[in-house]
Chain A
Amino acid sequence: MIALLRKELEELAPLLLAVLAGAVVWVAAHLTQSLPTWSVREALGYLLEDWTMFACLLAFASGHSRVGPEFVHGTIHFMEGLPTSRVRMFAVKLVAGALPVALLLAVTVAVKGWALSAWLDPAGGSVALVTAWASLQIGLLLYACYGAGLFLSWFGAMGWAAFGSFGFGMLFLSVISPGARAWFPLIWGVVDLVWVDGWPVTRVGPLLGWAFTGTAGIGMSGLLFLGPGDRLVKTGSALAAVFRALVFAAPGCILVVFGGFSGLAFLVTLPSFFEPTFRVDTEHFRFLGQRAHEAEVRAVIDASEGYRAQLVTLFEAPGPQRVDVEMTGSAEHFAGLALYGKVQLAPAESPATLVHELSHAFSQELRHGRANDDAWRFFEEGLATWVARDLTGDEAGLPSAPGAWRSGQADWMLLFEDKRRTERFDPDQVYPLGAIWAEAVAEASGRAPTCVVRASLDLPNHLDGGPQWTKMLSGCGTSLPAVIAAYDRLLQSDAGPLPESHARVWREGSWLYLALSGDATACRVRSNAKDPREQYGVYEATDGRCDLWRGTLNSSSFDLQLGTVLEPGEPPSWGPWHTVVIPP
């Protein structure tokens, strides 16, 4: 028995070393952080998903290396010569394989317990509870992975493929059904939970599921070890062949099903592709327009070369020599879009939108990626808005700059930090605010604001917003304080602050209800600040209420913005984002 255990542990030695080395890396990462300033959630969640992934894969590797390989490689026949029964052999293997798993759990408990109780002051007894809760969750997850490893070890390398296929399947399931994410925390987060009165609220289902998976894996592996394992691993075994087919078929089937639904959904959009179109080439443009909107397209074509010539003067640069303009875009998603090499407009857009997008094309051509995007985006959009307004006089469809100022969202320094700004405010506000900044540059410098684009060419790399704008504006013959003063003057109004709107949030089954107060008439929702602008959901309030389906939201909270129409016919002015916790 002891000799057998020693042999097992010798095989597992690299894995035990990996656990210890991983623990050192994990602890070292914790030591470099300012843990005492963190919340319990942050301290618990710090690198926990990466560690859990590592731990689960090691637990699987431990199980996968224990039982099946003896049969696959035929070494079981040597072991049968030992004076010990198969039951004992299996027990020894089970215990040896469980050792790295126990070590992983011990490291998890020790590191997180230490991080929570030693550094978070005041902590109290609830920290022990949180540690215990997290450990139970991770412990059962490791147990499930270990059990799965033991069972899948009977299928050799195919076992790893099956584990991967299962992961792919769960990922797919989690995408189409967010409720399934609690079952698969390796990707969606171990600590995405709701705290009610200081206690974490968790679902029992996944815990039972993991416990069952681990037990079933160990049980089935044990039965195979004691009985028909030989036949299973024998070359040409029908069951192994079926298993192999299943492993490869499962992700293929998911792909086919998902692709099939996507194909059907695409078929719905296909008629829009068959709108009759026509092509017109001019000196610098190739146009593609829809016959149904020929008049609007012709108006854009007729104006294009003239506006281009004005842009050449304004930017003091030759600009792109050839641009493809497709007036076949989706009006539902955007008015216009400048990609490198082409501009796409909605079918019935005005020349102002073309000028806006051409301004981007000129800027892209000149800058070649210079200037830090975070401090540049507001000006890129603002300049294009300013240029379109200056050349065409058209300024419809933009969010309200006075609305942004009156609701405290017009801070000039926040314009230099687009990511931080988008976390807090409407990302589209940079169009009118950037245009006012461009106007402020023009006022302060006495030159067209396009001088900033040329000045950006002399920028060193990786500058923050403040230094970057100090340098660019000095290249324009003005200074940052002068532009700030002009910006404030242009924005300032006698109208007082906008009254803040509010919403009461409650849940009934799969629906969330937002009852609006104040002047708000619409809700805008995103999962979190990382969501791209196109994925924001907009809901018009009916009877002062927005209704949301819970299934569209990924986690235990979401971001909400309330919209107020300041002038009839104008788009709503969106207030700041608020994080709303979904009632459990």
Chain B
Amino acid sequence: MSTLRALLRSGVALLLMELRQHLGTALLLAMLTVPAMFIGLIFAMAQGGASVAAVGAGVVYYWMPIPVLVLMQRLVVHERADGTHSFLAALPPPMWLRLTVKLIVGLALLELMSSAALLTVLAIAWLREIITLAWVAQLVVQAGVYVAAWSAVTLAATHLGRFRSWFWLVLLGSLELFDDDTRWQAWTWLAALAAPTDAGRHAVPWAGLGVSAAYTLGALLIAYALAGWRGGALPAAWFRESSTRDRVAGASLVLLWMLIAEVLPEVGRPELHGWELVPEAVAGDARVRSFDPALQPHAVALLRALDHLDAWAGPGARTTIALTPEAHGPTPPEAPVRVWDADDATLVLRVAGPANADFVARAVDGLLEQRSSGLLAHAADRAWLRDGLGLYLAELGQEPILAKRRAAWAVRDGLDRAALADWREVRRRYGADVAAGIAALGVRAWVDEAGEARTGAVVQAALLTPRSGGPASVLGLYRSKPDLGDEEALRERWWQHVADATDLPYEDDALPEVLLFRSPAELSNLDLGYTAAAALPAGAELIARELDPVRGVFLKDSPVWRSPIAAPTGVVPTWAAEWSAVEATVSVWSEAQQAHLITGWVEVSR
């Protein structure tokens, strides 16, 4: 009995001592809780204030960790820093009593603080929300458990001494790894208040309360174990002053971990999922899938080209292609087929046109871009191979009518043999569609010379090297370049194919020359002026696109503006800044060529 009385007396004395030392800090933190509360309220009101009650829980959730960290650490660290810890350890009150008193003092002050803040906000909320006493009591308990969990974890972490700051930095830095997924909170000590506040109106969040309570108990056990093991030898060692080298090492490790935690989520890419649930377009062949049975002819045409590609690339480079119908709208679609989405395993295409060679060519083109993550369009020395392969495969085993028509159009428009050496310029002058026709004849010339087997090996090395599941990267560009043999001789044979194409019946769908210029506009976004030398064909449109300001090239995600034009001269507004680099052309769809014919991309300089 007397022992108990002595313990009680010691406990009260310790309690008063702790209060005397820390009450001022607690009052200061309590005062700072008021502005924190107002900030929460004003943010909520700015968004309509749909749940003021949730602001009360929010203040506890977001603000209270700060007072907890300050006060609970202070309770332990203060006497270590002052050296009074050793003095107190020599006195009769046992370690567990001293720690319990600290816990009681800290917890009582913090619970008071959080309950006062919560109740104040709930009182305001009560004026215009349905707040029942039972729910108030439930929220107070939730907040209480939440604060207790934070307090216990902080108490345990504080016993790590000089390592405690690093512990917190590593812990909080690690949360970056879960940045996109908020469900992790339900498994941490935050669980008691992690669920939406109003969800608890009609059901008590027992699971969250249980998880937080378990963390509280676990953390308290660790705190008592650390403080009590061999008379507190561990904290005594950990609270010792560290050397400069130790401090530098700790800071370096923590910062490095924080960098890694930032970088890791950036490296991964989201994957498309579940496309195997979409029906096979052709029974028994899972390579092409489609929502719409009307796209089955497209799938049949595409599968022929895929057979060839797969024979070259091997089974490792297989992609599921999903064909989906294009949307209806008041204006015709931009292209007969376009890539909608792509990841390492899936390519989603939107289809608007018929199942012809042009469709297959464009679909294979999209597939090659997908398999190279878009790198090939920027690989100048092999871009023609990529550009021509789709149409080559689409017209394999038959007279390459489409390729020849497009090439013939280019020849009539001035293409000569020398131009083939500068593929980027050919693309700029004739556009991607006509360039694909010219390039397809190049691929044909090369296959004639090299034979199927060698062609396959080179195409695989150049375009289709499987990427072992990961995304294509700059590492992929270290792959061996395609050995095209004597390139000058190849170009000669290529030109022969192009020249032969002009024997086809002639169809006059030439575009007039168009002068493009910047329309003068002071301090404004850019207006483009144009003047055509002759009448423009029906369906002509002016296309302007922004160039990378330093590279001077158009990139896939850069802005593009299209405007139908009919008058021979006019001004078309764009959303580009007046000082930005822009190139433009006039384009028209040709049924005969199955291609967009252009007047040539021209950089419209200042």
Identify the A interface with B (CB < 8 A). 10-15, 17-18, 21-22, 25-26, 29-41, 47, 50-51, 53-54, 57-58, 61, 65, 69, 73, 119-124, 126-127, 130, 194-198, 252, 255-256, 258-260, 262-263, 265-266, 269, 272-275, 277, 279, 286, 288, 320-322, 324, 326, 328-330, 332-334, 337, 339-342, 344, 405-406, 408, 410-414, 460, 462-464, 466-468, 470-471, 479-481, 484, 488, 491-492, 495-497, 500, 502-507, 517, 532, 534, 578-581, 583
Contacts and interface: CB of A to CB of B under 8 A. Distances in A.
B469 interface: no
A496 B330 contact: yes
A405 B330 contact: yes
Contact of A412 (B272, B276, B327): B327
A266 B36 CA distance: 13
B473 interface: yes
Contact of B291 (A123, A332, A411, A470): A470
Interface string B52-71: 00000000000000000000
Nearest to A56: B255
A262 B35 contact: yes
Interface stretch (B11-19, B107-115, B530-538, B572-580): B572-580
Interface string B22-54: 000000100010111111011101111111000
Nearest to B470: A32
Nearest to B521: A504
B471 A34 contact: yes
Given A18-B252, A337-B48, A50 B291 contact: no
Contacts of A13: 245
A320 B203 CA distance: 11
Nearest to B348: A466
Contact of B45 (A18, A266, A583): A266
Contact of B245 (A14, A31, A506): A14
A70 to B, nearest CB: 8
Nearest to A342: B198
A91 B523 CA distance: 52
A266 B474 CA distance: 53
Given A120-B551, A517-B573, A580-B575, A467 B328 contact: no
Nearest to A346: B48
Interface stretch (B121-129, B228-236, B507-515): B121-129
Interface string B523-556: 1110000000000000000000000111111011
A412 to B, nearest CB: 6
B354 interface: no
A467 B252 contact: no
Contact of B48 (A333, A406, A467, A484): A333
A198 B252 contact: no
A195 B549 contact: yes
The 8 closest A-B pairs by CB, nearest first: A259-B35, A333-B48, A467-B274, A18-B252, A340-B199, A195-B549, A14-B249, A341-B201
A433 to B, nearest CB: 11
B328 A488 contact: yes
Given A61-B251, A262-B38, A481-B325, A339 B49 contact: no
B277 A122 contact: no
Contact of A40 (B259, B260, B279, B549): B549
Of residues A21, A36, A47, A413, which shows the largest number of chain B Cβ atoms within 10 Å of its Cβ? A36
Contacts of A32: 267, 470-471, 473, 475
Interface in B462-515: 470-475, 477
A197 B327 contact: no
Contacts of B471: 32-34
B474 A35 contact: yes
B36 A259 contact: yes
A481 B325 CA distance: 9
Given A274-B127, A460-B274, A480-B291, A322 B202 contact: yes
B128 A61 contact: no
A471 B244 CA distance: 62
A145 B558 CA distance: 36
A444 B201 CA distance: 39
A499 to B, nearest CB: 10
30 contacts: A14-B249, A22-B256, A26-B259, A32-B471, A33-B471, A34-B473, A35-B473, A36-B379, A40-B551, A65-B244, A197-B549, A197-B581, A198-B581, A255-B39, A262-B39, A263-B34, A275-B128, A330-B50, A333-B48, A337-B48, A339-B50, A339-B196, A340-B198, A341-B201, A464-B275, A466-B278, A467-B277, A484-B291, A505-B524, A580-B575
Contacts of A259: 34-39
A68 B587 CA distance: 69
> Most chain-B Cβ atoms within 10 A of its Cβ — which of A12, A25, A286, A467?
A467
B50 A266 contact: no
A481 B292 contact: yes
B348 A330 contact: no
B294 A481 contact: yes
Contact of B259 (A22, A258, A411): A22
Contacts of B127: 273-274, 277
Nearest to B472: A34
Band of interface residues on B: 35 or more
B180 interface: no
Given A195-B549, A288-B129, A481-B294, 4 more contacts: A14-B252, A54-B259, A333-B47, A467-B276
A57 to B, nearest CB: 5
A405 B329 contact: yes
A92 to B, nearest CB: 15
Interface of B: 28, 32, 34-39, 41-43, 45-51, 124, 127-130, 196, 198-203, 241, 244-245, 247-249, 251-253, 255-256, 258-260, 262-263, 266-267, 272-279, 291-294, 322, 324-325, 327-331, 340, 348, 350, 373-375, 377-380, 470-475, 477, 521-525, 548-553, 555-556, 558-559, 563, 573, 575, 577-581, 606
B37 to A, nearest CB: 8
B548 to A, nearest CB: 4
A530 to B, nearest CB: 13
B297 to A, nearest CB: 15
Contacts of A130: 550
A288 B293 contact: no
Contact of A470 (B50, B258, B277): B277
Given A18-B253, A326-B128, A340 B196 contact: yes
A429 B313 CA distance: 44
B475 A255 contact: no
Nearest to A497: B330
A54 to B, nearest CB: 4
Contact of B553 (A122, A505, A581): A122
Contacts of B200: 341
Contacts of A273: 124, 127-128
Contact of B47 (A341, A480, A534): A534
B475 A11 contact: no
B290 to A, nearest CB: 9
Contacts of B551: 39-40, 120-123
A36 B474 contact: yes
Given A34-B472, A255-B36, A581 B278 contact: no
A65 B247 contact: yes
A239 B474 CA distance: 55
A578 B581 CA distance: 17
Given A334-B50, A339-B196, A497-B331, A11 B375 contact: no
Contacts of B350: 413
Given A69-B244, A127-B550, A29 B32 contact: no
Nearest to A49: B262
Contacts of A36: 375, 378-379, 474, 477
Given A340-B198, A466-B278, A470-B291, A37 B377 contact: yes
B408 to A, nearest CB: 30
A210 to B, nearest CB: 20
Contacts of A411: 327, 329
A406 B330 contact: yes
B277 A37 contact: no
